[in-house]
């Protein structure tokens, strides 16, 4: 049961982390915006003063929590795959 729950958790975590439209429409306070919405608003405010690679680097750094979650919970998937292989 653990591999299935971990898979559902990771799918939900990724969807919440990558959610763009709802926070962009509903949240008015700039300090509470998610990283993706914050990067887009920051880039639009300082369009001429921000180097091209800085928002791309910010988007890459925002992937770190997703990678950590996948790597930390990978052992549950391996255990689920090998559980059915034993005769």
Q: 15-73: per-residue pLDDT in tens?
A: 888 888 888 888 888 888 888 888 888 777 777 777 778 878 888 888 898 899 889 88
Separation of alpha carbons 86 and 20, rounded Å: 43
Residue 84 banded pLDDT, cuts 50, 70, 90: low
DSSP, collapsed to helix, strand or coil, labels residue 62 as coil
Separation of alpha carbons 9 and 3, rounded Å: 10
Q: Where are the beta strands (DSSP E) in the chain?
A: none
Predicted confidence at residue 6, as pLDDT, reads 86
pTM across the whole model: 0.68
């Amino acid at each position: 049961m653990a591999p299935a729950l971990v898979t559902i958790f990771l799918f939900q975590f990724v969807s919440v982390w990558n959610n763009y439209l709802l926070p962009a429409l509903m949240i008015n306070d700039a300090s509470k915006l998610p990283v993706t919405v914050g990067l887009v608003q920051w880039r639009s405010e300082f369009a001429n003063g921000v180097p091209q690679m800085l928002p791309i680097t910010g988007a890459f750094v925002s992937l770190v929590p997703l990678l950590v979650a996948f790597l930390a919970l990978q052992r549950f998937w391996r255990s689920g795959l090998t559980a059915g292989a034993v005769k």
